[in-house]
Amino acid sequence: MRVEFTTRRDEQYWRQLLRDRSSTNSGWGVYFFWLLVLAIGLCFATGGGVAIVAGLIVLCVLVLFGQAYLFPVRRAMKRLPSYASNPRRIVCDADGVTVESDLVNCRYGWGVFTHARRKPFAYLLFAGSRQYVDLPRADLTDDQDEQLRELLTDRDLLTYGPPTS
């Protein structure tokens, strides 16, 4: 079985990919955020002058924390190089995955990948826990999407089921 397609990562795709990555990497940040909110509440509830100053300091930390964790996609989009949206030719066959563009020609054997995730916008082929190769789904025909899903399932990289969010 061979699935071959040409795709381009547009701005909307990059936003989805970056948003998905930041949401899976920031689980501890939610606890830290609520801890800061609790600290602010306690500072202002005590009502003393020192407590209010401490509350304002914690509020400033919360604002900086919010900037760092609420807008990571916006910052990452600004840092994307111009070639990030260049077209790529992707070939998935019995031996592995080939990704070709004007800048790079990479060949990955199936043994590199530990697991895969099927997202509504892409297949993510993981080589470890954080490193992955993304295969955008927008330019796949329904038939190609099904063939690629079968290819990944046959290699025990993807379990059959609906796309994960």
Domain boundaries, the chain: 3-8+85-154, 18-79
Would you state the pLDDT for residue 69?
Answer: 64
Would you state the pLDDT for residue 22?
Answer: 62
Would you state the pLDDT for residue 70?
Answer: 62
Would you state the pLDDT for residue 42?
Answer: 77
List of residues 6+ apart from 90 with CB closer than 8 A? 3, 4, 5, 6, 7, 97, 98, 99, 100, 135
Would you state the pLDDT for residue 6?
Answer: 92
Would you state the pLDDT for residue 145?
Answer: 94
Buried b (16+ CB within 10 A) or exposed e, 74-83: eebeeeeeee
Would you state the pLDDT for residue 103?
Answer: 87
pLDDT beneath 50, residues of the chain: none
Say which DSSP state 48 is in: -
Q: Which of the four CATH numbers 1.10.10.10, 2.30.29.30, 1.10.287.470, 3.90.1150.10 does domain 3-8+85-154 have?
A: 2.30.29.30
Helix (H) or strand (E) holding 144: helix 142-154
Would you state the pLDDT for residue 85?
Answer: 80
